[in-house]
Structure 1
Amino acid sequence: MKNAELLKILEEIYQQTHSHSEGKVASYIPQLAKANPDHYAVAVCLADGTQAHWGQAEENFCLQSVCKPANYCLTLEEHGEEIVHRHVGFEPSGQVFNALQLNSQGLPHNPLINAGGIMCCSLIRPQLSLSDRFEAVSNFWRELSGGANPGFDNAVYQSERQSADRNRALAYFMRENKAFPAGADLEETLELYFQCCSLSLNVKNLAVAAASLALGGTCPLTGKTLLQTRTLRNCLTVMATCGMYNFSGEFAFRIGLPAKSGVSGALMVVIPGVMGLAIWSPPLDSTGNTVRGVAFCRELVERIPLHVYERHEALP
Structure 2
Amino acid sequence: MMKSNEDVDTISLARFLEALYGSGLRATDPRLVEFSARLGNLTEDMVDRITFKNLVEPNIAIISRAFRRKFIIPDFTAFASRLDDIYNQCVNVTDGNVASYIPELAKADPNCWGYAMCTIDGQRHSLGNCTIPFTMQSCSKPLTYAIALEHLGADGVHQYVGQEPSGRIFNALALDIDNKPHNPMVNAGAILICSLLQNLVHFEMSFEQKLAYIMQHVQKAAGGEFLGYNDDVFLSEKCTGFRNYALAYLMKEQKCFPEMADVEEVLSLYFSTCCIESHCESMSVMAATLANGGICPITDEKVFSSATVRDVLSLMHSCGMYDYSGQFAFKVGLPAKSGVSGSLMLVIPNVMGLALWSPPIDRHGNSCRCLKFCELLLQEYNFHPYEHMGHATIKKRDPRMYSHHLQESTVLHLLFYAAAGDIGALRRHYLAGFDMSLGDYDGRTALHLAAAEGHLDCVKFLVEHCRVPCDPSDRWGHSPLDEAKGFQHPEVEQYLSTHLKNG
Whether TM-score is above 0.5 comes out as yes
Per-residue CA deviation, residues 237-259 of structure 1 (Å, 9 max, x unaligned), is 00000000000000000100000
In 1: Cα distance, 2:315 partner to 2:216 partner: 23
TM normalised by structure 1 equals 0.97
Match of 1:222 in 2: 299
Residue 310 (1) aligns with residue 383 (2): no
In 1: Cα distance, 2:377 partner to 2:346 partner: 11
In 2: Cα distance, 1:132 partner to 1:308 partner: 40
Matching residue's letter, 1:230: A
1:5, distance to aligned residue in structure 2 (A): 2.1
In 2: Cα distance, 1:65 partner to 1:97 partner: 10
1:215, distance to aligned residue in structure 2 (A): 0.4
Q: How do 1:135-284 residues align onto structure 2 when only pairs under 5 Å count? A: 135-284=212-361
In 1: Cα distance, 2:121 partner to 2:77 partner: 13
In 1: Cα distance, 2:100 partner to 2:377 partner: 29
Change beyond 3 A, Cα 1:19–1:90: same
1:184, distance to aligned residue in structure 2 (A): 1.2
Residue 56 (1) aligns with residue 129 (2): yes
TM normalised by structure 2 equals 0.61
Match of 1:297 in 2: 374
Matching residue's letter, 1:239: M
User: Does the 8 A contact of 2:134 with 2:278 survive in 1?
Assistant: yes
Residue 117 (1) aligns with residue 190 (2): yes
1:18 paired residue among 49, 70, 91: 91
1:125, distance to aligned residue in structure 2 (A): 4.6
Change beyond 3 A, Cα 1:312–1:146: farther
In 2: Cα distance, 1:90 partner to 1:211 partner: 23
Per-residue CA deviation, residues 33-91 of structure 1 (Å, 9 max, x unaligned), is 11100000100001211111111111100000000000000111111111110110010
Matching residue's letter, 1:20: V
Counting matched residue pairs gives 315
In 2: Cα distance, 1:142 partner to 1:179 partner: 30
In 2: Cα distance, 1:172 partner to 1:230 partner: 32
User: Does the 8 A contact of 2:226 with 2:279 survive in 1?
Assistant: no
Matching residue's letter, 1:100: L
Match of 1:42 in 2: 115
Matching residue's letter, 1:189: V
1:148, distance to aligned residue in structure 2 (A): 1.6
Matching residue's letter, 1:173: L
In 1: Cα distance, 2:137 partner to 2:163 partner: 20
Question: What SS does the aligned partner of 2:212 have?
Answer: helix
Question: What SS does the aligned partner of 1:19 have?
Answer: coil
Match of 2:76 in 1: 3
In 2: Cα distance, 1:265 partner to 1:282 partner: 4
User: Does the 8 A contact of 2:198 with 2:266 survive in 1?
Assistant: no
In 2: Cα distance, 1:311 partner to 1:187 partner: 50
Change beyond 3 A, Cα 1:182–1:310: same
Q: How do 1:65-104 residues align onto structure 2 when only pairs under 5 Å count? A: 65-104=138-177
In 1: Cα distance, 2:198 partner to 2:365 partner: 30
Matching residue's letter, 1:81: A
Residue 31 (1) aligns with residue 130 (2): no
1:287, distance to aligned residue in structure 2 (A): 0.6
Change beyond 3 A, Cα 1:149–1:4: closer
In 2: Cα distance, 1:129 partner to 1:143 partner: 21
In 2: Cα distance, 1:82 partner to 1:58 partner: 38
Per-residue CA deviation, residues 196-230 of structure 1 (Å, 9 max, x unaligned), is 00000110000000000000100000001111121
Question: What SS does the aligned partner of 1:139 have?
Answer: helix
Question: What SS does the aligned partner of 2:174 have?
Answer: coil
In 2: Cα distance, 1:201 partner to 1:97 partner: 22
- Asked which structure has the greater RCO (Cα within 8 Å, sep 6+), the reply is 1
Deviates further, 176-185 or 246-255: 176-185
Question: What SS does the aligned partner of 1:309 have?
Answer: coil
Deviates further, 256-265 or 125-134: 125-134
Unaligned runs of 5+ in 1: none
User: Does the 8 A contact of 2:96 with 2:368 survive in 1?
Assistant: yes
Per-residue CA deviation, residues 236-293 of structure 1 (Å, 9 max, x unaligned), is 0000000000000000001000000000000000000111000000000111100000
In 2: Cα distance, 1:125 partner to 1:183 partner: 10
Match of 2:20 in 1: none
In 1: Cα distance, 2:318 partner to 2:142 partner: 12
Name the % identity: 44
> Which one has the largest radius of gyration?
2
Matching residue's letter, 1:47: I
